[in-house]
Amino acid sequence: MDVGDHVCWMVGPGDDLAGPVKAFVADGQLFGDMVLVLGERAGAVGPPGSWESLITAVSRGTERATREGFRTLRVLADLSTLTAADTRPDVLARHELRLDALAADSGAILVCAYAREALTPEAAHQAAGVHPHHLGRPAAAPAFRLFSSARDRWSLSGVVDTEGADAFRTALAELLPLGPVLHLDCTNLDFMDSAGLTTLALAARGRLDRRIVLHHANETVRRSWSLLGFDSPDIPVELKQ
């Protein structure tokens, strides 16, 4: 893993944690990182009791790592003890997107470890989709990914189709309140079907005080948007080449 990486690790029943955690810590020592391991299953005391406590730990850790001359902060957080309410898709997306922006801005390395059997299929899909990297089960990568690529800009990649429309809707709902314009870099977006485009249009119509700009949208996406009748002044979405 490199500086700024944010990884979703889906841990299945019987999967080994000790080996990967030891390697994670050893790599941190090798590269001069400040290492923070949270969670009893990961071999440390004091799992994050809430999303806020985790975000606070990461924020304070990045400040300390900079102050004490480490290359960066390296965090492995075992999130298997979070409550069902804390792993609802909307709550999960909100806080993972915050963590992703924090990692992108600070250069921290974050690994979020989930017990796969403790998540609903919707929550597992949501978690994978709002991380730029994915490990473990399910082995297949999510159809799309939405994550922070730079300050005030988010990368949308892969395919947004019927299967991923709900997760896409949830992520948009969490990002739209963050500022007057939501910038989505679609350089690596391969395709968005009618379900994905409709989700985008409805999200924009629901927040007329916000604007969504898709940068580097390919010709297929732009043409489909127009054919569906969404290229309209009452939908505050702009698609740029």
The edge-to-edge listing of strands for the beta sheet with 133-136 is 34-38, 73-78, 109-115, 6-11, 133-136
- DSSP SS3 for 125: helix
Distances (CA, A) of 132 to 38, 81, 127, 154, 201: 21, 23, 10, 11, 24
> What is the average pLDDT across 98-110?
95
Tell me the HSE value of 208 on the side-chain side, using a 13 A CA sphere. 5
> What is the average pLDDT across 141-151?
87
The residues facing 48 across adjacent strands are none
pLDDT, tens digit (0-9, with 9 covering 90-100), for 50-84: 899 999 999 999 999 999 999 999 999 999 888 99
Give ∠ CA 55-59-60 in degrees, rounded to 5.
Answer: 120
pLDDT, tens digit (0-9, with 9 covering 90-100), for 189-216: 999 999 999 999 999 999 999 999 999 9
Banded pLDDT at 42 (limits 50, 70, 90): low
Phi-psi map region of 50: left, alpha, beta (phi>0 left; psi -120 to 50 alpha): beta
Banded pLDDT at 1 (limits 50, 70, 90): confident
pTM (two decimals): 0.90
Q: Is the pLDDT of residue 44 over 80?
A: no
Banded pLDDT at 45 (limits 50, 70, 90): low
pLDDT at residue 208, as a whole number: 92
pLDDT, tens digit (0-9, with 9 covering 90-100), for 105-136: 999 999 999 998 999 999 999 999 999 999 88
